[in-house]
Structure 1
């Protein structure tokens, strides 16, 4: 179903209905006689159990490649569209599994990447350097064993741990085509000597370099999978299930913030995301009202531009007059900024709304997510240029 769908009525078993509700992707409300009304709740993705497969797709009908680009760029401003060349298949899980298999196969085609890993260990001989403070605190007065640290050249590094975890998670998804499942398991077998990440543990940190270039694309996709997908293998009477759920509002707002901050890096000043602005005079902290625009650009420590990205404001005719506009008016008033930029997904023209009895303008700026990633980023760069031009114009007018 589309994320703006009014919902559908389907026959579900209680276990599947509970899993759908627990996934956060949709709401399954009982109607009696085994029927449930399934309604989207503002998230997109897919839930799969042995008896149910539910997909909620973005209203813009974005393909998987575009969705992965938005997800990846928000976490890494250097993320490029070619880092994740997603296979576009009708079903999300098939596309994810095939994409991961292809990229992991490419990454491991020349063998498992190795690198230096710092190891802390207690040994009876000196290896590397002695950790003096640890030796004194843990073994006062003892000469051996020695607390030492040394660098070991090994395949048990962050890159391989992340890749193994993603391959393992996708291998547990029910309904993946047998040939793809076989490839995922074969690739995971190449990383059998790598430490398995514990469920729920933070992902280890890796840094892009010339040495791990062939892993980049696979790692970008692996991180997206590990942060947004869950899979539970069957055990006894329990059957396997999986979910891939993302909040498109958060994805869009994070993407716009990251892309805009990079684009504004070419201009003087400093960009701050989720800026807190005090709206009223108050003696006590409990009486303070704070407004928080998505981003504020400061020049010499003074706010000069206000931005907000609103995914839910999208409509066929553009951004809708709503509380978002009142909120931007409040931000401009609080920060003494004459122009605010409201960014929303969709096609159309830039629209200026001049607020009556004030010197404040709110500019609606559409961002067409159906365009190629390079054109989306070009549009954000155009937004940065237009907004900076407005700052220059206002400065020339002495405002």
Structure 2
């Protein structure tokens, strides 16, 4: 099976591809661009954007997209946003083990398998589940209405309902589905694949999930505490971060795989870390807070984070995360206009932009003609840089410092 390796926002690669397969890949949205190569007939130029991972592309092609960020750092960002309470940054219990793999899919498969193995080390979790079935003997309670509707009052069989103590729980179903999903992905090493198959056998008493249906719900508790890290990783595999792209049209070609959108990974990490730090200061944070730019309510805006007082009534500051590097002149006008719109709508004295990297130290721009700031000063737009090459503890520390700046607004007259 042919395999092509791309790099996140790297140069385009010329790949031999049928016209229909190329058009399907271009319409899928998983790449920044997919266009016919004018220099080579029958080839397409493929260029990766912010999505990293691996997919089965049309024509039997396997696409591997490598991230710019080291894989262990990427999974730190992902893990922290999934479960910050487990102290991913400094606890061996909370660290996502990616092994020695420097590619997204192998590292993910290894991490999920290791977490499932740790969760099952004390045995498969069992619990009570309500069962309704037709039985030859009475067990539990007879469903009289169902007995009359289905059996016209005749017995046996008997329509009954009872609580069964079983391994077919929501937690085990999710773990089994994640293992099966990973077994279908390209690029999973043989040793990891064999371990995943072993975990699937251990979870055989849990029913498989039906594709397309919502994931079963589970509630964190003392009983499933050893499962929780594995469950959150498994849900990341099964939810929107592992999409199946199925373009519409006659006889569509499917594109199946696992992709992480680095824009979303960075945004989630920044907003979750800020939310936790603000909570320690008695403030609340609203993520993806919906508002309207115009009085008619037709132009929607959705800031990444709005910091509010503890009761949630008063907005203090607004934050937007940008997975990009600042331009050499330090001015990203579109970002500044967006931040200014947020501050204006929310009547805030300042707004904050957090970049994945920057060329200048933290600074701000004071807006002429605006008087939302204290003492009649103009609105200030603060620019922060979060260098992803730094150690995890330093990344969290930087965001805690930014949270302190947001909290300081509450103390201003």
For the Cα contact (< 8 Å) 1:305–1:391, is it kept in 2? no
Three-state SS of the structure 2 residue aligned to 1:246 is strand
**1:96-142 CA distance string (max 9 Å, x none):** 3333333333333343222222334466876556779x669968996
State the alpha-carbon separation in 2 of the partners of residues 183 and 276 from structure 1: 44
**For 2:394, which of 352, 356, 375 is the aligned residue?**
375
- Bigger shift: 380-389 or 67-76? 67-76
Other-structure match for 1:256: 270
State the alpha-carbon separation in 2 of the partners of residues 4 and 318 from structure 1: 21
1:147 deviates by 6.4
For the Cα contact (< 8 Å) 2:366–2:379, is it kept in 1? yes
Residue 46 (str. 1) matches residue 60 (str. 2): no
Other-structure match for 1:294: 304
Three-state SS of the structure 2 residue aligned to 1:272 is strand
Residue 154 (str. 1) matches residue 166 (str. 2): yes
Other-structure match for 2:34: 28
1:37 deviates by 0.4
- Within 5 Å, which residues of 2 pair with 1:187-336? 187-227=199-239, 228-229=241-242, 242-282=256-296, 285=297, 288-299=298-309, 301-312=313-324, 314-315=325-326, 320-336=331-347
For the Cα contact (< 8 Å) 1:83–1:216, is it kept in 2? no
**For 1:182, which of 171, 179, 194 is the aligned residue?**
194
Residue 113 (str. 1) matches residue 129 (str. 2): no
State the alpha-carbon separation in 1 of the partners of residues 170 and 72 from structure 2: 25
1:362 deviates by 0.6
1:20 deviates by 4.1
1:189 deviates by 1.6
Distance 1:153 1:332, change over 3 A: same
- Within 5 Å, which residues of 2 pair with 1:58-137? 58=67, 61-81=68-88, 82-121=94-133, 127-128=139-140
Compute the TM-score of the two structures, normalised by the length of structure 2. Answer: 0.78
State the alpha-carbon separation in 2 of the partners of residues 97 and 15 from structure 1: 31
Distance 1:392 1:136, change over 3 A: farther
Name the count of aligned residue pairs.
380
Gaps of at least 5 residues in structure 2 are 1-5, 89-93, 246-252, 371-377
- Within 5 Å, which residues of 2 pair with 1:356-371? 356-358=368-370, 359-371=378-390
1:332 deviates by 1.9
1:46 deviates by 2.1
Three-state SS of the structure 2 residue aligned to 1:310 is strand
**For 2:7, which of 2, 5, 8 is the aligned residue?**
2
**1:284-304 CA distance string (max 9 Å, x none):** x5xx54443222223362322
State the alpha-carbon separation in 1 of the partners of residues 333 and 220 from structure 2: 43
Other-structure match for 2:64: 55
State the alpha-carbon separation in 1 of the partners of residues 130 and 168 from structure 2: 11
State the alpha-carbon separation in 2 of the partners of residues 56 and 168 from structure 1: 22
Compute the TM-score of the two structures, normalised by the length of structure 1. Answer: 0.80
